[in-house]
Amino acid sequence: MKKIHIVGIIVIAVAIGVIVYSLGSNASYANFAEAISNPDTEYHVVGKLNKEIAVQYDPKINADECSFVMKDNNGIEKTVILHKSVPQDFQKSEQVVVIGKMEGANFHANDILMKCPSKYNAGTPQVQ
């Protein structure tokens, strides 16, 4: 067997390994109750930001950490510690998806997705 064939087989094996690993590490959607019962599993939790409680973020202390209170779709409210800086237009978001795990009483998120308000409401454009 030629060296080029052996190298090709090794490259294909590594590519298959990377694909299998990435498929196995995908988080599933859940609520805070399920995340509490399985603290070692990473979840996507969908909910809304509690805008009555201020977002805690001080870049002088830690620029890569902020915390806020979020209520999931089942009404359970938890403090979320996001290990990133505050996203732009975070306060305007309608819905939030945090990706992470429960650690103690808080949900520690390493990523966040936001659903921002639509520019259109019932088919008519809103004036900005």
For the stretch 9-37, pLDDT in tens is 999 999 888 877 766 556 688 999 999 99
Q: Per-residue pLDDT averaged across 113-127, rounded?
A: 66
* Under 8 Å between Cβ of 67 and 56: yes
Task: Kindly state the tokens that stand for 60.
Answer: 């002088």
CA–CA–CA angle 93, 53, 64 (5° rounding) = 70
Report the alpha-carbon distance of residue 63 to residue 52 in Å, rounded: 23
Q: What percent of the chain has pLDDT over 90?
A: 44
**Are the C-beta atoms of residues 108 and 101 closer than 8 Å to each other?**
yes
Domains in the chain with CATH codes: 28-118 (2.40.50.140)
Residue in the block written with tokens 């966040």: 112
pLDDT at 121 (0 to 100): 59
pLDDT of 46 reads: 93
Enter the pTM of the model: 0.69
Amino acid at 107: F
Q: Tell whether the model's pLDDT for residue 60 goes beyond 60.
A: yes
